[in-house]
Amino acid sequence: MNDETIKHNLQITILGCGSSGGVPRVGGDWGACDPSEPRNMRLRSSILVEYWQGEGVDIPSEDKRTVVLIDTSPDLRTQLLAANTQHVDAVVYTHDHGDQTHGIDDLRAIAYRQGARIKTYMGSPDQNDISIRFKYCFVKPEGRMHPPILDLQDFINGGDTISISGPGGELPVTVFEVGHGNVNAFGFIFCGKIAYTPDVHTISDNVLEQLTGIDTWILDALRYHKHPTHAHMDRSLHWGAQTRTGKLIFTNLHIDMDYQTLKSELTGKHEPAYDGMVIAI
């Protein structure tokens, strides 16, 4: 079948939309967030991407979808239980920070359940660090009984387009690079429709051009005021206007970003993310 005739279906679940410490922070610090609003309870940032091909309004069962996890947050076990996730075809990392990687061992239950190692994609510098720090996930240590759970793929670069296979078909993922303080991080575009940049401070003109006209962009808006490694709300709104994005959904939200306050301040189709939110195209 010609790719132009394929009906691509996407469902993205926000597993977590909190900043590196989550909301509330340890010690019960809610900041400006109203504790009585459940959408202010935020786990660390991660999404689940589910893909399938074909016409029709009915969503197929999970065993007929290609399921891709973006990042393994420290809250991953709780997140996968909440989403009732039964299998994962691949995990893709944006970058190697603790709030993106330290839940990696929670993939063990998934790998054992499906009887196969999980395809794992990351950049070259991150491969060097993650595969050393969590070596047992990739290579069976001498004298250990437990098998490795992750299958490291060729490293990815900004500008790549990768196809991730699964029971729902080949999910096309466009990779681009953004600035995140003194390191770079990856952003992704799924099926040319939905972009995801949970950790971003600067974006090149070339990447902004690539994002122009995107349907939906899930992006970093850590807080109201400027930050040295993350976009603040005004910067993210400016990028959305510059790229003529149809809908902005704000993630990686700090404790000063109250859900209802944000909801009342944002215009058009833009809105704050919340844990468990589902975006379907």
List residues bridging with 47 in a β-sheet. Answer: 14, 70
pLDDT band at 6 (very low <50, low <70, confident <90, very high): confident
For residue 113, give its domain range: 3-280
For 229-258, what is the mean pLDDT?
Answer: 98
What's the CA angle centered on 169, arms 159 and 216, to 5 degrees? 55
Between 43 and 57, the more confident residue is: 43
Say which range, 8-17, 53-62, 223-232, 254-263, has the weakest mean pLDDT: 53-62
- Cα separation of 269 and 265, whole Å? 12
* Number of folded domains that form the chain: 1
Contact 72, 91 (CB under 8 A): yes
- pLDDT greater than 80 at residue 14: yes
pLDDT tens per residue across span 119-170: 999 999 898 899 899 999 999 888 888 899 999 999 999 999 999 999 999 9
- pLDDT greater than 70 at residue 241: yes
- Cα separation of 247 and 237, whole Å? 10
Residues in the chain, overall count? 281
Contact 101, 129 (CB under 8 A): no
Domain of residue 132, CATH code: 3.60.15.10
pLDDT at res. 1: 41
- pLDDT greater than 70 at residue 33: yes
